[in-house]
Amino acid sequence: MIKISILLASIILAGCTNQAITPKQVIKKPIDENMEQPKGVKNIIAFIGVIKPALESSMKEDPTGIKASKFCANSAMKMTKGFNATLPKGESIRRTALKYRNPANKPDAIDIKVMNEFVVSKNFDKPKVVMINGVERIYKALPAKQECLICHGENISPEVKKVILKSYPKDLATGFKLGDFRGVVVSEIKR
Ligand code: HEC
């Protein structure tokens, strides 16, 4: 049933690729917990499984976060691209946030709408699905955990701040408190 609706949505939206995105074009479905996990969710889990251990081991080597900040600035995007290269054609992963650090992760209008819903509902468990212009997007919310605050929190050390501002002079991704909505991992699959 869900597959059929997605298919219908793709057909309806297929002609709209270059038009401005209006809320009407967005069809949303909550993910049914009993349903087999959609491929997009699997991609997100696999991606987090790659990037999380890399960040963790860098933080372990240097708990001040200086080394890991450099690692994130130099490697997070490369790792994302590298991961996408392993996915079948038409599938990809990206990260975005309302208050973002890397301009390459700037959200679009739909991203902003979905993320604002996460902020309002404070329910970060269930991914949100959006069908737009023939692409299925799945959004997984990332809460600000304790280990994130060293680089995204209210009291970032001057050393870490210096490293971050060097790469991202217009950084918006600071001042988060434990449990705040930090951003999302988005899976995109052409349907
Ligand atoms: C050691 C510092 C450091 C830690 C710890 C850290 N981040 Fe980041 N984060 C960065 C840097 C630097 C960037 C920008 C480079 C990039 O990843 O594209 C970034 C980018 C991001 C982005 C992409 C959107 C944007 O703002 O550009 C998200 C989402 C994010 N971080 C979430 C988290 C979460 C959630 C945690 C905790 C699990 C975390 N970060 C821990 C340094 C850090």
CA of 7 to the centre of ligand 1 (A): 34
- pLDDT value, residue 26: 53
pLDDT higher than threshold 50 for residue 3: no
CB of 72 shorter than 6 A to ligand 1: yes
- pLDDT value, residue 39: 86
Nearest atom in ligand 1 to 103's CA: 27
CA of 154 to the centre of ligand 1 (A): 14
Interval 151-186: pLDDT, tens: 999 999 999 999 999 999 999 999 999 999 999 999
CB of 51 shorter than 6 A to ligand 1: no
Task: Locate all alpha helices (DSSP H) within 14-157, ordered by sequence.
Answer: 39-61, 66-71, 77-86, 109-121, 146-152
- pLDDT value, residue 6: 40
Say if CB 126 and CB 30 are below 8 A apart. yes
Alpha-carbon span 38 to 151, nearest angstrom: 32
b/e for 97-114, b at 16 or more Cβ within 10 A?
A: bbbbbbeebebeebbebb
Nearest atom in ligand 1 to 77's CA: 18
The whole-chain average pLDDT of the chain stands at: 85
Question: Do β-strands 128-132 and 181-190 pair in parallel, antiparallel, or remain unpaired?
Answer: unpaired
Interval 16-60: pLDDT, tens: 333 344 443 455 555 555 555 688 999 999 999 999 999 999 999
Q: How far is CA 161 from CA 62, 101, 176, 177, 178, in A?
A: 15, 12, 14, 17, 19
Nearest atom in ligand 1 to 167's CA: 12
CB of 140 shorter than 6 A to ligand 1: no
pLDDT higher than threshold 60 for residue 113: yes
93, 156, 182, 187: residue to mutate for ligand 1 pocket, most atoms within 8 A of CB: 182
| Residue bearing the CA closest to ligand 1, atom 6 | 148
